[in-house]
Amino acid sequence: MLPLKGKPKNTWQDQPETLYANKEIEAIALAIGVDPHRKADTADLSGLRYHKIVILADADVDGSHIQVLLLTLFFKHFPKLLDAGRVFVAQPPLFRIDVPGAGKGRPARKLYALDKAELEAMEAKLADEGAREGSWTVSRFKGLGEMSPEQLWETTLNPDTRRMLPVAVEADGIEVRDTDAGVFEMMMAKENASQRREWMETYGNLVDADIS
C-alpha cells in the first residue's frame, strides 16, 4: 500500500516531463513501475509491478475528489493502464449494521452497507426476516482510518469480500476516448470554471447530497 499525503495534484494540464517535479506523483510512478506515457501507442508496461492498481479513498466527498484526481492522472498520463484493465476503484462501506443473535439458528452478524440506499434495503430485509425494528445498531464510518485493521481487511482489502469497480475506456476506439477527454477537460482544466459552473447548475439536482 502507498499512502498519499493529502490530495494529489491535478495533473490534467501537466506535461509528462514535468510530472516528477511533484514528489507524490513521482512516488506513484515508482511504485507501479511505469513511467508516464509520452505516446500511448508506444507505452511500455513491461515494468508494471502489480496486476491491479486499486484507488482506495474514504467514502465521502473528499474521497471522491481524490479518486477523480487519481483517475485524471491515469487517464492523461498512464492511459495504457486503463486500456489493459489494471485500474480499479475500491468501494469501502459507509455503514456497519450490528445484528444481535437470535437463538441457535441466528448468530450475531456484522453487515456492511455501501451507501444510504443499500442500508435501507438491508434494514428492510432484516425486518422481513423477522428481526425486531431497533434490535440492530447502525454505525457510520468517518473514514478508512477509523476502521480497525480487521474491518479494513474484511470490507476493503480481502479479495473474497471487497468490492471494486474496474476502470476502463470502452473498446470502441478513439471516439470514446476523445469524448472522455472532453469531459476531463471541462472538469479539470483551470480555465473552464464557467463551464463547470454551468454543468453544475444543469445537473446539480441529480446529486444526492450527503448532509449527515
Residue 136 clears pLDDT 50, i.e. is over it: yes
Alpha carbons 111 and 137: distance in angstroms, whole number? 10
State residue 171's pLDDT score: 57
* pLDDT tens-digit map of 147-206: 889 999 999 999 999 999 999 876 555 455 566 677 777 777 777 778 778 777 776 666
Q: pTM to 2 decimals?
A: 0.79
* Mean pLDDT across 95-123: 89
